Amino acid sequence: MDGDEVVPEAQALPLDAWHRARGGRMVEFAGYWMPVQFEGIIAEHLWTREHAGLFDVSHMGQLVVSGETAETALETVLPIDLSTLKLGGLRYSLLLDEVGGILDDLIVARWPDAFQMVVNGATKWDDIAHLRENLPDDVTISLRDEQALLALQGPQAVTALTSLGLVPAMPQIVPIEQLGFMQMGPYLWGDRELGVSRSGYTGEDGFEISVHADDVAAFADALCAHASVKPIGLGARDSLRLEAGLPLYGHDLGPETDPIGAGLGFAINKRRRAEGGFLGAEQVLAVIAAGPAQKRIGLALEGRQAAREGAVVMVGDAAVGRVTSGGFSPTLNHPIAMAYVDAAHASPGTALEIDVRGKRLAATVTTFPFVPHRYVRNGKA
């Protein structure tokens, strides 16, 4: 209907009232009401770097893919070697279209009789439709919409989480503090089962916790009773992931970007490069062989003015790329940005300029991450 199209209203997540009661400033994001900040983005960013921040990421899609042929079927839509993914292991992967464009980035985990996947909130319904279209009928795809998802991030996250007395729900599962980065397991909080992974998207050590929606407010209260934990909004989550050099779908990734130019070649395993057999394989393998025309780079800016998404990257009078994410880095105390630029100008140390409303900002290509990651692997940082 011309001019009368109905735009769906944003939905409330299970912790909506909890956020509002704590002064969360709510905004529409990915079709949901979510807190963008509580005390202020910079304060929340620095708190997470120094202590522990609690993020509500319940908008994400928690999927279960099961069936006897689930492993081989998933390899037709993901460029991943699932044969090397151990029980309880997590791995970053990509959902690609027929020409190798990125439909979503995701985390996939192996569990005894199924694969668990966490996909982006804004794309989850399209992802489910894509999977159903491309997977055989004997593979079941379930959305765990009864579950909320929290991310506890920061150097004191492990202390705060272990203080709640979680115990492994299976004999072969290690205590929480012994989980390594990109490992998961089921744990009991009293009589309530949680799915806990040592993962996150801030560059800090931390955990993502899947908890039933009926229990999530009580669990969030229990975490925030710890002196090191505060609720943190979307604003600081974005500035933290930018400092960590992690791309955000819908900004730094999309159908118009390829995995190699995006710097995500590690997500295409050695066997899959040799054998192909996944959607878009022909195009992706051709880019691997020839090299990408453009590359995702990091930019360190001079001065105090930030460059935002859409700003044009220049060499002299020639446009050579565009910014996809940018902002002021509270940790480094200067602006940083991600951009796609022509491969000839992507080497670290290259001097570029960014056009911001007619003003040229000096910038230098730098390596990712801007701020070192602090993941814990096998019990060691």
The tens digit of pLDDT for each residue in 186-210 reads 999 999 999 999 999 999 999 999 9
Cα torsion 305, 307, 311, 316: sign: positive
Q: What distance in Å separates the CA atoms of residue 210 and residue 144, rounded to the nearest whole number?
A: 10
Q: What is the reported pLDDT for 377?
A: 85
Treating both helix axes as pointing N-terminal to C-terminal, what angle do 234-243 and 41-50 enclose, rounded to 10 degrees? 60
Partners of residue 260 on adjacent β-strands:
none
Could you read off the pLDDT of 97-126 as tens digits, one per residue?
Answer: 999 999 999 999 999 999 999 999 999 999
8: pLDDT strictly greater than 80: no
- pLDDT recorded at residue 330: 97
Closest by alpha carbon to 64, among 14, 12, 135, 13?
Answer: 135
Q: Using an 8 Å Cβ cutoff, are 319 and 311 in contact?
A: no
> Between the CA of residue 316 and those of 171, 257, 311, 332, 353, what are the distances in Å?
63, 25, 15, 28, 8
Give the 3-state secondary structure percentages of the chain, helix then strand then coil, rounded to 5: 25, 35, 40
Distance (Å, rounded) from C-alpha 381 to C-alpha 373? 9
First to last CA, the chain: 56
Mean pLDDT of the chain: 96
Least confident of 65-74, 167-176, 293-302, 372-381: 372-381
Which tokens hold the place of 304?
A: 């105090």
* pLDDT score at 9: 84
| φ, ψ at 244 (rounded to 5°) | -80, -5
Give the span between the Cα atoms of 352 and 362, in whole angstroms. 6
Give the Cα separation of 29 and 102 in Å (integer): 21
DSSP for 44-105? HHHHHHHSEEEEE-TTSEEEEEESTTHHHHHTTTS---GGG--BTBEEEEEEE-TTS-EEEE
Q: What number is the average pLDDT over the span 57-75?
A: 97
Judge whether 13 and 33 are in contact, CB under 8 Å: yes
What does the pLDDT average to over 77-83? 97
Alpha carbon 353 to chain centroid, angstroms: 28
Average pLDDT over residues 240-248: 98
3-state secondary structure 14-38: CCHHHHHHCCCEEEEECCEEEEEEC
Cα 180 to chain centroid, rounded? 18
